[in-house]
Amino acid sequence: MKMTLPRRLLLGAALAMGLAGTAAAEFPERQITLVIPFAAGGSTDVVGRIVADRMSKSLGQQVIVQNVGGAGGSLGGQQVAKADPDGYTILMGTVATHALNPLILKQKPYDPVTDFAPVSLLVLVPNVLAVHPDLPVNTVQELIDLAKKEQLAYASSGNGTPLHLSGELFKSMAGVDITHIPYKGSGPALTDVLGNQVPIIFDNLPSSSGHIASGKLKALGVTTKERAPSFPDVPAIAETLPGYETYSWNALFAPASTPPEAIAALNKAALEAMADPEVAKRMGEFSATIVASSPEDLGKHVTAEMAKWEPVVKAANVSLD
Ligand code: GLU
């Protein structure tokens, strides 16, 4: 209690000396770093760069992208959790960083609720099961049949990601054993599948859609309950394995205790970006559904998603390689 009065006096003196002007300065005054917790070329990177570019225009300051891949997104998540809470370092979070990592990874480098200030849920993203065109299967059932005869492997964007969960849920529901090979993001995972070093990938649709459209990857099924609007000919895996469902999402987070003015400015810029018809067109091409939420609704979404995936992670018997 002894400290209370002098501190108040100090603050009063600082305000009287004109420092109040500094505190009230417009956010942002300099460039912002958007940490992408996965390697370049993955879905989070693709979505993140489109959003960062458009937010730069709204904010009048550059939003630069920094890829910090590894540990299923938790390295990048940890970097932002520990960053100065001033709004100048933010995270392109996903279902991996804010729901699955804490459920799957043994090491918990941060708390997705208490270590972050939510900014906006941006998009919901379908995932896809795709194979190299040389793999002699054209349907989910044919893949299941082949996996019962041969030892196959699938690539994912890392332990603790929705792609890892997608693969393990598939294995447990189909009764097959396929070896999991984790990467630092879908970008490097895709490189190896396109080169046929690994025959199967579970990926987010945004990063695979171009390769599926050009025939470099054969899509067997999407992971959402329903088919994806941009690929109506690709069945849902649930058509073969009823009840199968996974998906991903992208959302912006700042470190906990970031000033509300900075959160409000970032949220406004994010909503403006998602309302831009050019951004909407790009998102539509890979069936990412725009949500563009308030910070409060993103907070509720994170809590709901952690509860939703807990039984699925258990049912899928996800283990670390
Ligand atoms: N596959 C994604 C990427 O490499 C990350 C996984 C996720 O969607 O959470 O960007």
Instruction: Tell me, using a 6 A CB cutoff, whether residue 162 lines ligand 1.
Output: yes
At 19-49, the pLDDT tens digits run 444 445 799 999 999 999 999 999 999 999 9
Question: Which range has the worst mean pLDDT, 3-17, 28-42, 94-108, 299-313?
Answer: 3-17
At 207-249, the pLDDT tens digits run 999 999 999 999 999 999 999 998 999 999 999 999 999 999 9
Of the candidates 244, 39, 280, the residue with the CA atom closest to the CA atom of residue 128: 244
Closest approach atom of ligand 1 to CA 94: 9
Instruction: Tell me, using a 6 A CB cutoff, whether residue 96 lines ligand 1.
Output: yes
Instruction: Tell me, using a 6 A CB cutoff, whether residue 258 lines ligand 1.
Output: no
- Amino acid 114: pLDDT: 97
CATH 3.90.330.10 is held by the domain 32-123+249-310: no
Contact call for residues 237 and 263 (beta carbons, < 8 A): no
CATH 3.40.190.150 in the chain, residue ranges: 32-123+249-310
Question: Which range has the worst mean pLDDT, 35-39, 107-111, 270-274?
Answer: 107-111
Closest approach atom of ligand 1 to CA 248: 8
Instruction: Tell me, using a 6 A CB cutoff, whether residue 32 lines ligand 1.
Output: no
CA of 126 to the centre of ligand 1 (A): 11
- Amino acid 315: pLDDT: 86
- Amino acid 7: pLDDT: 39
CATH of domain 126-239: 3.40.190.10
At 123-132, the pLDDT tens digits run 999 999 999 9
DSSP letter assigned to residue 287: T
Is pTM, for the whole model, over 0.85? yes
Q: How far apart are CA 213 and CA 201, in angstroms?
A: 16
Average pLDDT over the chain, rounded to whole?
91
Q: Write the secondary structure of 3-37 as one string of H (helix), E (strand) and C (coil).
A: CHHHHHHHHHHHHHHHHHHHHCCCCCCCCEEEEEC
Confidence check: pLDDT of 2 > 80: no
CATH 3.40.190.10 in the chain, residue ranges: 126-239
Closest approach atom of ligand 1 to CA 97: 9
Confidence check: pLDDT of 106 > 90: no
Pairing of strands 200-204, 153-156: parallel
